């Protein structure tokens, strides 16, 4: 659905900006803990934040605390764990409360899996559990089967979603698209043109929402997508951020 190879129009201070983190504002690394955001990218994000009067948010699979530790911008609105927790422009944080006992069972089961297959990495984000196979791509099918079986055992309150060499178990009912919709109903995002930039399958929910709102959906990197525009890499995202009236 991408409209061309030239990338989206130059940024405008009249827009509302939503950015994924890993693979969008920061290059991927062997493990989530090794991902680093360049200082210049953070500076540019802060410039966009001021130019748009605060209409910038990060929408990530990471927790809010984890994103804060990467960017050190405590006033920045953030949707963490695919929208299961969200900090609005006023600093108010709302979190989804999952079935804790079910998550504990899943955590124990996945810990046992990783003990048997140490090439896999279990990332416990608090509200979601991610099984990474970036270091063991041959175990991709096994990881997905394991998560799917676990999700079925836990019942309808949970769902499985895939990403770039990761499969994640999360409470059902929220995603990055619903997080964007929630932000767009609040100031300073309200009545602005929505722009979402992301690289992964989990960003497709947000692309669909932004498309329905008549905004700019931007896919980073290769792959099929519902986004209407494309940027080739994290470096290209930063170059694009430096253009236009908001520069």
Give the CA count within 13 Å in the CB-facing half-sphere of 196.
34
Does residue 20 carry a catalytic annotation? Answer: yes
Helix intervals (H) in 164-225: 176-184, 204-212
Neighbours of 76 (CB within 10 A): 21
Q: Which of 163, 186, 192, 187 is nearest to 175 (CA)?
A: 163
3-state secondary structure of 96: coil
Q: How far apart are CA 76 and CA 179, in angstroms?
A: 15
Q: Residues 216, 210: contact at Cβ < 8 Å?
A: yes
Q: How far apart are CA 144 and CA 124, in angstroms?
A: 17
Neighbours of 78 (CB within 10 A): 25
Strand partners, 123: 130
Neighbours of 92 (CB within 10 A): 10
Considering the candidates 20, 22, 199, 203, report the single residue annotated as catalytic. 20
3-state secondary structure of 168: strand
Which residues are designated catalytic?
A: 20
């Amino acid at each position: 659905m991408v409209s061309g190879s030239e990338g989206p129009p130059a940024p405008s201070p009249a827009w509302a900006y939503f950015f994924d983190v890993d693979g969008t504002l920061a290059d991927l690394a062997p493990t989530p803990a090794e991902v680093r955001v360049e200082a210049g990218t953070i500076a540019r994000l802060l410039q966009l934040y001021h130019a748009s009067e605060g209409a910038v948010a990060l929408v990530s699979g990471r927790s809010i605390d984890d994103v804060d530790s990467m960017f050190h911008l405590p006033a920045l609105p953030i949707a963490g764990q695919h929208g299961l927790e969200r900090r609005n422009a006023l600093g108010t944080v709302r979190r989804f409360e999952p079935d804790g006992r079910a998550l504990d069972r899943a955590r124990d089961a996945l810990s046992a899996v990783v003990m048997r297959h140490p090439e896999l990495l279990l990332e416990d984000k608090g509200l979601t559990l991610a099984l990474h196979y970036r270091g063991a791509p041959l175990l991709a099918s096994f990881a997905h089967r394991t998560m799917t079986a676990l999700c079925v055992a836990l019942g309808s309150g949970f769902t499985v979603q895939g990403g770039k060499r990761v499969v994640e178990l999360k409470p059902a009912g929220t995603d990055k698209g619903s997080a964007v919709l929630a932000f767009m109903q609040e100031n300073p995002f309200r009545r602005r043109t929505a722009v979402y930039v992301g690289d992964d399958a989990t960003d497709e929910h947000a692309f669909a929402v932004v498309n329905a709102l008549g905004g700019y959906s931007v896919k980073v990197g290769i792959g099929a997508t519902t986004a209407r525009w494309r940027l080739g890499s994290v470096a290209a995202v930063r170059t694009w951020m430096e253009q236009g009236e908001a520069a």
